[in-house]
Amino acid sequence: MTSTTEVPTLPHLPCVICRQPATIQCTTCTYPCFTCSGEHHRQHDVACRSGSLPNGISVQSSVSAGGISCYAAETYTVNALIMRVDADHPLFEAVTCMAIRSPADSWATTPLPHVAQFFQDARAALVHHRGPQMERLDNPYQIFYCPMSLCGLRRVCNRAVARLVEGSNPMPLPWLGPVVVLKYASMMCDAYVDVTPDDLGNIQAYFAGYGLWRREGQRR
């Protein structure tokens, strides 16, 4: 049986069986394939176990066993902002990403970053569209975090985030768990570009504001 992982942050990816929004990613495939339910994943599993999926970095089209289509994808690398819990400061590190194209919608791409190595537990993501003055950003940020940590199940304060928001007044509450920040190339959110030192102001404003929001919520 193949392994799966939930992808609640990517609901716009279509199921390889029915094209409905997908919530399950097959992690055994050479390529990322997505399904919307356990039943459809079992159908995909037949193709996955057959070994018929393509093995390569860039593939223009692919059809798996049983006529179940998979995704064409290309890989590229961008710099992301990595904030580990035990790091003294944020670091810029290369992250490999896939530009996924569905055979049914070859004009549309969905970016999928490989960030699992930065998280021990489950991860989730949000898209941040606003700057320090609540202006709409031309290049939104996708912020990956550990929901188990933020819920208090793993109370490990992130030293890198603390350094990022150092000097904020008032000082926000500590951030719990690891963080990875990527930057979208445009408001379309269909590709990533490098996070650079010029982005630190926008990212710092988000984490400072989020910590203050949590503090206000605890006072109520």
- Both tokens of residue 204? 């710092």
8-17, 114-123, 146-155, 178-187: range with lowest mean pLDDT: 8-17
Whole-angstrom distance, CA of residue 26 vs CA of residue 11: 15
Dig out the tokens for 26 from the structure.
Answer: 């097959």
Tally of CB atoms within 10 A around 128: 20
Amino acid occupying residue 112? L
The pLDDT > 90 percentage for the chain reads: 31
pLDDT at 164 over 60: yes
Rounded to whole angstroms, the Cα distance separating 10 from 22 reads: 8
Residue 119 pLDDT more than 80? Answer: yes
Q: How much is the average pLDDT of 17-25?
A: 67
- 53-100: per-residue pLDDT in tens? 433 323 333 333 334 344 556 789 999 999 999 999 999 999 999 887
Position 16 confidence tier, pLDDT thresholds 50, 70, 90: low
> In the predicted model, is pLDDT for residue 217 greater than 50?
no
Three-state DSSP at 148 gives: helix
pLDDT at 147: 87
User: How crowded is residue 68: how many other Cβ atoms within 10 Å of its Cβ?
Assistant: 18
